[in-house]
Amino acid sequence: MIRESNVLWVEQTLNESIASGNVKIIQNAIETSIEYLKDFTGEGAVVYCLEKAKKSYSTERKTHYCKRAISLLHGEESLPYSDIVPSRWMDYSEIKTESLWIMKDRKRDDFHDASYWGNFVPQIPEQIVTRFSKEGDVVLDPFLGMGTTAAVALRLKRKIIGIELSNDIAEKAKSKLSSVGLVNDSARIVSGDSSIISGEEIFGDWKREVELIIMHPPYHDIIKFSRNPQDLSNAISIDHFLERLEDVLINVGKYLLKGRFLALVIGDKYADSEWIPLGFKSMQVALNNGYKLKSIIVKNYEGTRGKRMQENLWKYRALKGGYYTFRHEYIFIFKKV
């Protein structure tokens, strides 16, 4: 990362050349600055502007791009909710900004555990945590499961609070996190019902506020995660599921700071020969409770066990039943207002 003294040197070099009004002097200053900045990482957008200035023919265009480069050097486009600096967009090739995510396979590391049905694809929380939180922020996951979001958040130097209805699964998640060295003072893993759990149980002696919430609930009854009647996968109807989801959103959402983000990851379902738009029904729950919709991302993950093992069977069923098989899920991004 470039230091302030280096920024001042480049700024002075460019400004003095601009003041001269001489196109050759400006060109020389541009080339000198480009060569100088090559020794520093994180200045891709600045160099890009200077390269544009270098290729421009008129003094006016060269001056325009030089001033733009100086502005970028001062990092004037920082975000209140993220460590990302938009003006350095060239440095974020791994960050997705489109609304269609195609994922051929699950990212594998020492935390991966394919034995748990409904396991989160780690690329999703990785993208969301990076885009919508800063280092040191608190991320809350009210449907912890085996702790994929927790592992991602901790590795990205965030704090994590994970709530899991099943005490057995919560303990397994804690043990798994511990086995890869990720349980520390930055993690709180608690067992409880996210729709009614108290602030004291959630936060302990932590400050009662969070900067990001990631929700990956059951997709109603597609996978039965337990026999607990409070489990959303045991909701007796779609309306009951949505009521229970709203209870969770209200209970944990009150701790989300205004202006910060909530991500809801959910898919649709098919029942009684009818496509049920569970995703959009769930989206409406958030809209009804003080959240502004910022994005709808359609995600396709090819590598699920069901898809891999029953590809031909599902094609047969689709042809016979007059419908299309699911190839997508939704990631809804909301901002609390």
The tens digit of pLDDT for each residue in 60-105 reads 999 998 988 888 887 656 789 999 878 667 778 899 999 999 987 7
pLDDT at 118: 59
List, in order, residues 6 or more apart from 160 with CB less than 8 Å away: 138, 139, 140, 141, 149, 150, 153, 154, 186, 187, 188
**pLDDT-flagged residues of the chain (< 70):** 1-2, 41-43, 75-77, 87-88, 106-119, 301-309
Question: What is the DSSP code (8-state) at residue 88?
Answer: G
Burial class (CB in 10 A: 0-12, 13-18, 19+), 334: buried
The tens digit of pLDDT for each residue in 141-174 reads 999 999 999 999 999 999 999 999 999 999 999 9
pLDDT at 273: 86
Q: Where along the chain do its domains lie?
A: 4-78, 100-336
Record the pTM: 0.78
- For 269-289, give one letter per residue: b (16+ CB within 10 A) or e: bbeeeeeeebbebbbebbeee
Task: Name the CATH superfamily for 100-336.
Answer: Vaccinia Virus protein VP39 (3.40.50.150)
CA 121 to chain centre: 12
Q: In whole angstroms, what is the distance from residue 279 CA to residue 124 CA?
A: 16
DSSP 3-state of 201: helix
Question: To which residue do tokens 């997705």 refer?
Answer: 96
